Amino acid sequence: CACSYDSSALSINCTGAQLSEVPSIPRPEQVGLSGATLYLNNNKLYELPLNTSFGYTQVTRLYAAYNQLTRVQPTRLPPNLTVLDVRGNKLEHLSNDFLLT
């Protein structure tokens, strides 16, 4: 994965890295920032990491399009998420409380 940052957020780009699970990612505080954008598009992910995973809790924008996800659970979404892109996956259903989180 490639990391970069600007004045507003840390950007972690793991697009097309053939990932079957999300690796440990840096925390934005390590470079004086408060949020992170995580690009996981075009991988082989069947599920997202738990929302308590190191670095993942500070992700505010998550792009996980074109993977193998069959469901998205609130316990696997970062708490401060504002953007979620899961198009092109194999989603079967969303939990009842998905939109409430």
Check which CATH number belongs to the domain holding 95 and give it: 3.80.10.10
Q: Indicate whether 101 pLDDT > 70.
A: no
Q: For residue 27, how far is the Cα from the chain centroid? A: 13
Which of these, 69, 14, 75, lies nearest to 47 by C-alpha position?
A: 69
Q: Which residue has the higher pLDDT, 62 or 98?
A: 62
For 31-36, what is the mean pLDDT?
89
Q: Domain range holding 77?
A: 2-100
What's the whole-model pTM score?
Answer: 0.91
How far is residue 79 from each of residues 40, 74, 100, measured CA to CA in Å? 18, 9, 12
Q: What is the pLDDT of residue 95?
A: 72
* Count of domains forming the chain: 1
